[in-house]
Structures are given as C-alpha cells and as structure tokens.
Amino acid sequence: DQQVKQNSPSLSVQEGRISILNCDYTNSMFDYFLWYKKYPAEGPTFLISISSIKDKNEDGRFTVFLNKSAKHLSLHIVPSQPGDSAVYFCAARIIQGAQKLVFGQGTRLTINP
C-alpha cells in the first residue's frame, strides 16, 4: 500500500514557464512534507518542506502548496530553468520513534530550452 504517490512519472516544461509537480498521500499522521531533487548518480538533496499546519511555503523560485482536505501537495517552480531538470521526489514525515520519511515514486522533470 503506497502512502505517498506521484502519479506523473515525467513532465516536460519550456524554460521560463511554470513547472507544477503533484503528490498525493493517504496517511493523516504525516506531519511534514518535503520535496527532494535528485540528479543521476547522486543522492537526493532537500529542496523545500511544509508543515501540515500550513498551506503554503515559498523559497525563491520554489513554492509548495498543501491541501490537507484533499491530501494533496504540489511544488511550483517559476521560472523553470534548465538546471531544474532532475527527478523530484515527494516525501512525507511520520514520527514513530525516529522520524521516518515515506517517498513517492518520483517525477522526472525536463526543462526544454
């Protein structure tokens, strides 16, 4: 049973336009949501997070929106740049002893010049 889902395996966006990556979750016990970016042959790197008590968090070109009633979050990147091309993972945090992150399958974002 997959608790965090990214239903789009890939997304292609024109440079300068907005990229929107989506993520759905099922477990109401998640208290934080995070986005990670992964380049080939590297580990995931943290991008931005949002608490479950907020509905928006912004950091430069990156904004994460949380719709708790729909159990849905999205990452907006604007304007998109070629260096944003990577695989983006949505993750949700749950505290069970130590904190645990549950990841989605990832969405491969390609920014076209």
Partner 1 sequence: ETGVTQTPRHLVMGMTNKKSLKCEQHLGHNAMYWYKQSAKKPLELMFVYNFKEQTENNSVPSRFSPECPNSSHLFLHLHTLQPEDSALYLCASSHPSEGGTGTEAFFGQGTRLTVV
Binding site for partner 1 (CB under 8 A): 2, 4, 9, 31-32, 34, 36, 41-46, 49-51, 89, 93, 95-106
Q: CB-wise, 27 or 99, nearer to partner 1? A: 99
Instruction: Tell the smallest beta-carbon distance from residue 9 to partner 1 (Å).
Output: 8
Report the C-alpha gap between 17 and 19 in whole angstroms.
7
Report the C-alpha gap between 65 and 54 in whole angstroms.
9
Q: CB-wise, 4 or 77, nearer to partner 1? A: 4
Instruction: Tell the smallest beta-carbon distance from residue 75 to partner 1 (Å).
Output: 14
Comparing CA positions, the residue from 4, 15, 90, 10 lying closest to residue 50 is 90
CB 35 within 8 A of CB 49: yes
Residue 109, classed as helix, strand or coil, is strand
Instruction: Tell the smallest beta-carbon distance from residue 33 to partner 1 (Å).
Output: 9
